[in-house]
Structure 1
Amino acid sequence: MTGKFISLEGGEGSGKSTAIECIKAWLESKGIDFIVTREPGGTALAEDIRALILASRDETVDDMTELLLMFAARAQHMSQKIRPALKNNIWVISDRFIDSSFVYQGKARGGDLEILNTLTKWVVGDDRPDATLLLDVPVAIGLERVAQRKNADRLDKESIVFHEKVRAGFLEQASSEPERIKIIDASQSLSSVSEQIISTLDALKSTWEESI
């Protein structure tokens, strides 16, 4: 028996930070041990790589450079944080994971899916999320929320066309794996979004208890 692995996905401004607070409150109410982490990042070294990936710069960042940096951070994250927690029956809540790579570096940037699948096999293996909450919101709403941030990163500043590709890519991921990826309508009220999240978590907890 291991802990459950939950990832949160969505375009920019989809409300993942707020959703994580809802998940944390639910886990605490159930007395479940958990950690909250993020990608890219999650360890000291992976956070250094995150800074490289997201920094605004005059130099064009090659798509392959971005992809390999993402997986370098993920390899460190998996070995030093995610796998140890799961083996100790601790739930892992990650702000972004592998789906973001397939969407941002794959579908939105036109990356080679065969390379993505190979890197995923090497770095992630069978340690995929048990459930992924996809916070879906129209691009216009998401970017309006992003505009209120004090520090926009390099991805925030991508074109609207790019962000539309991201949203379509996530919805395509969800349609291909409906059992794992649950779409949360993040354009609704906070209470409605929370209800959708809690319903998904309750179902996941039931399967976890059956494995004990």
Structure 2
Amino acid sequence: MHALIVVAHPDPASLTHAVAEQIAEGISASNSEHSFEVADLAAEGFDPRFTQPDTALAMGRGEPLAEVAAEHARLERADALVLVYPVYWWSFPGLLKGWIDRVFTQGWAYEDADGKLVKKLQRLKVHLVALGGANQRTYARHGYFGAMKTQIDHGIFGYCGAQVLSSDLLLPSDAGFPAAHLATAQAIGGKIFSSRAVIREEEVEP
């Protein structure tokens, strides 16, 4: 089994990158036959801007640009997609959102066939690992985590048919921060291809 780990953070020394590395180690440790590829969007210089050719593709005209086709190929090689990212303004960073905008294209991720939605990514399993800057009380009081799950889990992946198997939010208020996040990340990696992987629904007391 093969995982594509997508990281969206400009600083390679960040906790976000360290978490991604531990997830990769967890995948490798879980089974020697499992493999992974890391897509470091910042280091690779992925352009998140939605351009005229992207608009044409969304309207069913033209072919994907080379950089978009390359991302399609990476995703087609993967059995699981793992997104690791910091929370910016209660959502994805612009770099990661732009990757979704440009790569999850009409005709490839989904298709609008005469008003009927065809979900084309039902084979893909998704794991989300977000690193936030606020504490659990703040997220719970304002309903931020629930809103993020609605926007991302349902609004993006549900629309394309991809199943979100786990959604983790790592916060500074977590016990043992930041070292505990690395242990959690390795455990997440170890379960990526577990047949018992389930969505974690965590209730936080306000």
* Short-chain TM bin: 0.3 to 0.5
Q: Which has the higher contact order (CA 8 A, sep 6+)?
A: 1
> Which structure has more helix as a fraction of its residues?
1
TM-score, normalising length from structure 2? 0.47
